[in-house]
Amino acid sequence: MVGDERPVPEAAAGGTLIVGASQAGLQLAVSLRQLGDSSPITLVGEEPYAPYQRPPLSKEYLSGASDLTSVDFRAPGFYEESGIDLVVGERVTGVTLSGNGNGSMAGAGSGVALTASGRRLPFARLALTVGAAPRRLAVPGAELAGVCLLRDRDDAVRLRARLHDAARVVVVGGGFIGLEAAAAARGLGKEVTVVESAARLMGRAVAEVLSAFYLAAHRRRGTRVLLSTTVTAFTGDRDGRVTGVRLDDGTLLPADLVVVGVGAAPRTELARALGLVCEDGIVVDVDARTSNPAICAAGDCTTQPHPMTGEGRVRLESVQNAVAQAHTAAATLLGAPRQARPVPWFWSHQGDLKLQIAGLAIGHDDHVVRGDPDSERFCVLYYRGGTLLAADAVNSPADYMAVRTALTRGVAVPREAAADPGVPLKSVLTARPDAVLPT
């Protein structure tokens, strides 16, 4: 690993440069090695840390159940042993390509990247795994101390320290991260209010029945949830510390800590400077190729064809997607054969409510609720034209695994079986002897 304290040699001109040293970037480097690439790999990231996991930051770390020692992906010696030159604390500010840029001739993807501190990183192959940046609220007072974001390790450390001393916490945004933070704060005995501008919680990701369940469940646990409510300003004291949150109806919620969890925007600045096509993310194809076929991109920064149906484009922000797409990108860079993409999956732990999602529900025209939401153990299965697309399982790991297996193996899960909690879903799978549980 290379930090700021010692000079970094230029990346060997024959190697791969991966910009963005997190979930996707690390996986891309590891997959290159697994696929037999022995040429130099440089993994450069602007954060001053070796790649680490983000999911625990809003869960175990924020609630105090764990510290940061367990978030690193790899032991420090791993990078050197694997021949991966990890450059941390360096933001790539520009990239110049030396090939013709159309991917049709050798060296088309080669060039040199420049970092903010003036380092030059030459490369023969380039991959962008630059992730997403948290959206900020453009309202007065957004810069006050105590108005916190939660995307990276430094955010989490700041937030946890402030949470310790806070009594009244307002969470702006009722998506996954906001609700995880709210659950952690509530679990620590804080007075918590969630303010969501949409009419339901997690509205971009789950069906109405799930939103309604989570609304009731968070309220049962003592969290106040305001829907269809917009924040218009934050108020502060003379020392520049937040004291309140002004709502669109004029109400002022007292607050000594605010967590802003209103989504993340893909980091497309480098890709745009390279002339790559970008929409809501860097546009890539099923092989993780950008509009310059010599350059790949993976993870939260991309928008891609739907991984299950191939129809339309989606931008997925999940560990599973970052890992799978990075592996695809590595294969593409090496000219290795395309491998089948695994079924997407995701999880969100909001206190004791463990949500697991298998598949993608986009485009569903029907859903089945399996079990009783009031029991806090149930599952929602989504169908299109009678075909199972996805399931959201709350505190139901067996159903989640059964659905993931069914989707992986292409086994039908009849609606009637899904609707009857008395019929174990895995009994549907045993009808197909080749159905094995995914790892």
Ligand X SMILES: Cc1cc2nc3c(=O)[nH]c(=O)nc-3n(C[C@H](O)[C@H](O)[C@H](O)COP(=O)(O)OP(=O)(O)OC[C@H]3O[C@@H](n4cnc5c(N)ncnc54)[C@H](O)[C@@H]3O)c2cc1C
Which residues bind to ligand X, rule: CB under 6 A?
A: 19-25, 44-47, 54-55, 57-58, 91-92, 129-132, 150-151, 177, 267, 270, 299-300, 317-320, 322, 346-348
- Considering beta carbons, is residue 160 or 190 the nearer one to ligand X? 160
Q: What is the rounded CA–CA span in Å between residue 245 and residue 254?
A: 6
Residue (53 or 230) nearer to ligand X, CB: 53
- Which stretches within 16-111 are classed as H helix? 23-34, 60-63, 77-81
Smallest separation (angstroms) from ligand X to the CB of 317: 4
Tokens for 226, please give them.
Answer: 């305001």
d(CA 282, CA 347) in angstroms, rounded, equals: 24
Closest distance to ligand X from the beta carbon of 277 (Å): 18
Under DSSP, the state recorded for 67 is: -
Choose between 126 and 428: whose C-beta lies nearer to ligand X.
Answer: 126
If DSSP codes are grouped into helix, strand and coil, which group holds residue 397?
A: helix
Q: Find the shortest distance in angstroms from Cβ 430 to ligand X.
A: 29
The nearest distance, CB 438 to ligand X, in angstroms, is 15
Question: Residue 329 or 369: which CB sits closer to ligand X?
Answer: 329
CA distance 271 to 273: 5
Question: Quick one: 73 or 230, whose CB is closer to ligand X?
Answer: 73
Cα–Cα distance measured from residue 283 to residue 249, given in angstroms and rounded to the nearest whole number: 40
Q: Given the structure tokens 């946890």, which residue do they identify?
A: 160
Residues 2 and 6: their CA atoms lie apart, in Å, by 7
In whole angstroms, the minimum distance from the beta carbon of 285 to ligand X comes to: 17
Minimum gap (Å) between residue 349 Cβ and ligand X? 7
DSSP 50: S
Give the residue with the Cβ less far from ligand X, 156 or 425.
Answer: 156
Q: How far is the CB of 6 from ligand X (least distance, A)?
A: 19
Q: Which is nearer to ligand X, 50 or 428 (CB)?
A: 50
Burial of 40 (0-12, 13-18, 19+ CB in 10 A): middle
| Burial class of residue 406 (count of CB atoms within 10 Å of its CB; 0-12, 13-18, 19+) | buried
46 vs 399 by CB, closer to ligand X: 46
- Shortest Å distance, C-beta 82 to ligand X: 18
Report the nearest approach of ligand X to the CB of residue 98 (Å): 19
Contact (Cβ atoms closer than 8 angstroms) between residue 41 and residue 70: no
Nearest-10 crossing angle of helices 176-187, 153-165: 40
- Match 């560990």 to its residue by tokens: 319
20 vs 141, beta carbon nearer ligand X: 20
CA dihedral 322, 324, 326, 329 (to 10 degrees): -140
Please give the Cα distance from 210 to 216 (Å, whole number): 10
Measured CA to CA in angstroms, residue 240 lies from 233, 253, 257, 364, 373 at distances of 14, 17, 13, 47, 43
Q: How far is the CB of 97 from ligand X (least distance, A)?
A: 16
Nearer of residues 345 and 378 to ligand X, judged by Cβ: 345
Token pair listed for 205: 């990701």
